[in-house]
Structure 1
Amino acid sequence: MNSWQKRVLEKLLPEKLPIFRWVMTLVLVLSLTSCGDKVSSQEVSTDYRENPPQISQISKQFSEVSPPSVIQELRTILEVYQPQVTIVTPRSDEILQDNKATASFQVKDLPIFKDSQLQLGPHLHVILDNQPYIPVYDLNQPLVLPDLSPGTHTLRVFASRPWHESFKNEGAYAQTTFHVFTKTDDNNPDIKLPLLTYSRPQSSYGAEPILLDFYLTNAPLHLVGKENPNDEFSDWRIRSTINGESFIFDRWQAVYLKGFKPGKNWVKLEFLDNQGNSLKNAFNTTVRLIDYQPKGKDTLSRIVRGELTADEVRSIVDPNYRLTPTPSVEKTPEIQPKLEKQPIPETEIPKESKTELTKPEQPKLEVPTAVPSPTLSPTSPEIITPTPELQPEVTPTPESTPLPKKIAPQTTKPKLDGFFNRRAGKVSTPQAPVETSPSLPPILPEIIESPAPEPQPEVIPTPESTPLPKISAPEAEKAELTKDTQL
């Protein structure tokens, strides 16, 4: 406490209250020290499993938020796994006689695959030296590392969830150092010092929040570090700088951030010791450039925005899972037979068919009107003689008794007509077509009978039968008799 602060307290506080003076002094000291801590660093709690989801403003532009709800739900499914990662090739401290290396891996207690439709799944992050990681989804295909520079190289590998969050259990990380032609001091981290492995963000993004994730090795837990106060790394920190704004993390946990600007953004991660200084090791300071374009259509962007449900993307954490909408498709054919049963009462259809049969009968009645014209035009007796052969077909119709009565006198007419027509042909031919014109009605019943198989009762009431009494056959006979008498 400064001297001026003591003088102010002596003037404000009476001498008779030493205890009160001491308490106030303690409160003032604590408040001043706390203000100094806030100015020097900002510690962000990243353990979202212990703390409820909240929005924490960690800088002017960036804020920490809880993970997307779909990711939280899917993450619980993968908690049963404790992946164990092993680098098979290249072997530790191996010297290769080629500038190309082939890397192969083994993973236990975690299925490694990629969903063919969603293009996501549990995989490995493979980091050569301090380059951006390479995702590996198929352990059966070795990873080829071409065009390696001569010297020492380090390969780091750890298991990752489908949304690129690293598994942080014991054994989920593996590391090996090998050499191409010869050994050098480059890319050779000190295994006795803490090592920071940068993971995310990387490449491009189409939605916020964006995951910030890393992997730590040889860094003691803070609870363990407190037991060894002499350890210079017991109070380590991770400093993150995005687009020039810095904030500090004190826990090893994935963080979801908002506040990125569309376009290019740069991210820097550093490992700090107890004094807040950057710890010098091969890869403890890393910088990445990312591209943020809102409204991305990839699967991860749609998951982050909440456009897909956990059930719709569950196949990215469970290779044997199939979407549930399949039973709904099976129910649809069950409705179809019901629709087929409704038109089953087709008893009305034959009635319609009957009506359809009767309808064409009417045009058939009209057709014979044109038929008699050619039969009448030739007045030869050869055409008239077959008419009595067709007339007996009209008599068997039992549907109407009056028809045979009218037809009976007509049967005698052709005989007379044939007799008199012969004379008429000798005397005067123009009278024959006039006399044969009344013979139209006997042809009509012949055509009516042919198209009437079943619906004959409906044809009976047709007024076409009425022309029969109008037939002037007797008159024609009288006319012919008079002609004969005149002759």
Structure 2
Amino acid sequence: MLAAPRRALVALVLVVLTLVSGGCGSKAGPGASAVSSNSLSATPPAGALQEVAPPGAVQELNERLNERAPQVRVLAPQDNALLPAGAWTLKLQVSDWPLSDAGALGLGPHLVVQIDDQAPIRITSFEGASAVAMPDLRPGSHRITVYAARPWGEAVKAPGGSTQIRVHRVARNAAELPASGSAQLIAASPDAQQAMEPVLIDWLLLDAPLQNLRGDDARWRLRISVNGDSFLVDRQTPLWLKGFKRGSNAVQLELLDGRGDPLNPPFNSVVREVVIGSPGPQPAWLRPRLSATDLALLSGEQPVAEAEPETTAAPEPKPLNSTAQPSAPSREPESPATSEPQAEKQPPAEPAPPTPTVPQAALQPSSEPEPSPEPEQPASAAIPTAGRASSKDNDPAIGNPDPEAPTPSEEPNLPAEATPPEAQAQANSKSSAVTQTTPERLAPQTSLTGSARDQVNADGELLKPSPRGPLAGLREKLGG
């Protein structure tokens, strides 16, 4: 009889123990919140937002720029330096990264200098990187972040592609700086370049905890909110989004820890404005494809100055009769000094006057040696003096002329036909007026008539009269 109450009591005790153990196991332990937070996973964009592939030009440029490993260093000032008042200079050094400005195409690979969360300063030349003029800083502490950027503003995530120093003005203020070694969020995009879709969302994480080393190992999340629609990402990969409204759009980036709480606030929450439809040309990297020249310019492989002749339009061809492409050379007009005398070189033929009877003795060749012929003179000097034979050269009483003083009658270039004295005088007057360099000649003093051709031999030399003999006067009187 006593065995039954014992069994009932034992059964009751077992039931109580079972209930107590079950209730204790249902209580939440200290690690329950962390376990539940690991279930927080990346979510796709919500609402009208849509993730799309990068533009074709971006993919082409990435193929070339991904081969580089930029290394960025700050040479001056030193980390934790105390800066004086006024403007100061930041000296940078970069290797294995081209710095260029592609002109009308936009920026090429460049460096970005960012003070705290202010607007970025973009550097497109090595000369500019060696000495960057920086504005005056307000008193307190500041973060100076420098990183290599692609033409569309995406930050290079490779090790060495970014660096940061901390500087102070007047005095150091620890409250304005995140704890040393703690995670920092630097918003690289969107910025003023994003005026049309798709919009690049990109960021840079400094000293962020490593994650995804094993399953369910999430140390941080990035929450992206666009006009109130939010989604989470757990990888440092740039996003290209569509679905923005026309006009102003609010974009917020927040860095969260594994539990979904803000990580290292208030330094890791950034708000940017994106204005869609603002005036301005479309960036070249939004094109579906790039030409070989544009690809070389935007990747920094070719300077803009060397590619200008290829990008400019070729000039239109000019007509053949233009001054740039002259036609066959035309004959130059003859100068008045030579054309006018030749125009009167052959005047209308008139009957020649009767030729005077020359003594037989004068026609016989002279036995005396003839003087050497004088050099030929230009036709312009010979033409106006044709027919000016001097009487001293043909008078038998005077004798042979002086060979050192040749007369115009000795010139070989004489007209083929006889010229009347009136026409010859008119030609002489016109020629002397045109040719200023011809010396003035004395007026003819001969009483002979006829052409000067009658006074020279066939070879152009003057006829030499025979010496007068003792019977010369008697022959003249007798007419024979």
Structure 2 residue 100 is matched with structure 1 residue 113: yes
Alpha-carbon separation, structure 2, partners of 1:326 and 1:96: 47
Counterpart in the other structure of 1:169: 158
Alpha-carbon separation, structure 1, partners of 2:148 and 2:312: 37
Say which of 94, 101, 105 aligns to 2:88: 101
Counterpart in the other structure of 1:288: 272
Q: Normalising to structure 1: TM-score of the pair?
A: 0.52
> How far does residue 109 in structure 1 lie from its aligned partner after superposition?
1.0
> How far does residue 223 in structure 1 lie from its aligned partner after superposition?
2.9
> How far does residue 73 in structure 1 lie from its aligned partner after superposition?
1.0
Counterpart in the other structure of 2:23: none
1:60–1:106 distance in 2 versus 1, CA, 3 Å: same
Structure 2 residue 263 is matched with structure 1 residue 263: no
Counterpart in the other structure of 1:318: 300
Say which of 48, 59, 75 aligns to 1:88: 75
Say which of 197, 202, 214 aligns to 1:208: 197
> Deviation digits for residues 227-251 of structure 1, max 9, x if unmatched?
9x6xxxx431100111111111111
1:224–1:289 distance in 2 versus 1, CA, 3 Å: same
Contact 2:57 2:288 in 1 (8 A): yes
1:99–1:181 distance in 2 versus 1, CA, 3 Å: farther
Structure 2 residue 66 is matched with structure 1 residue 79: yes
Say which of 306, 321, 325 aligns to 2:288: 306
1:217-366 to 2 correspondences below 5 Å: 217-224=206-213, 234-281=218-265, 283-293=267-277, 296-298=280-282, 300=283, 302-306=284-288, 308-309=290-291, 311-320=293-302, 326=310
The one-letter code matched in structure 2 to 1:181 is V
Structure 2 residue 184 is matched with structure 1 residue 195: yes
Contact 2:197 2:241 in 1 (8 A): yes
The one-letter code matched in structure 2 to 1:253 is T
> Deviation digits for residues 171-210 of structure 1, max 9, x if unmatched?
1110000111111124312232211111100125332101
Unaligned runs of 5+ in 2: 1-35, 321-326, 329-347, 352-480
Contact 2:78 2:165 in 1 (8 A): yes
Unaligned runs of 5+ in 1: 1-35, 45-57, 337-342, 345-385, 390-487
Match of 2:164, SS state, is strand
Contact 1:99 1:146 in 2 (8 A): yes
Match of 1:71, SS state, is helix
1:225–1:177 distance in 2 versus 1, CA, 3 Å: farther
Match of 2:212, SS state, is helix
> Deviation digits for residues 130-172 of structure 1, max 9, x if unmatched?
1122111123232222231111111011100111111110011
* Structure showing the higher helix proportion among its residues: 1
Give % identity. Answer: 32
Structure 2 residue 38 is matched with structure 1 residue 43: no
Counterpart in the other structure of 1:68: 55
Count of residues in correspondence between the two structures:
283
Alpha-carbon separation, structure 2, partners of 1:115 and 1:325: 14
Match of 1:222, SS state, is coil
> Deviation digits for residues 337-376 of structure 1, max 9, x if unmatched?
xxxxxx99xxxxxxxxxxxxxxxxxxxxxxxxxxxxxxxx
> How far does residue 88 in structure 1 lie from its aligned partner after superposition?
1.5
1:281–1:307 distance in 2 versus 1, CA, 3 Å: same
The one-letter code matched in structure 2 to 1:303 is W
1:94–1:226 distance in 2 versus 1, CA, 3 Å: farther
Say which of 171, 174, 183 aligns to 2:172: 183
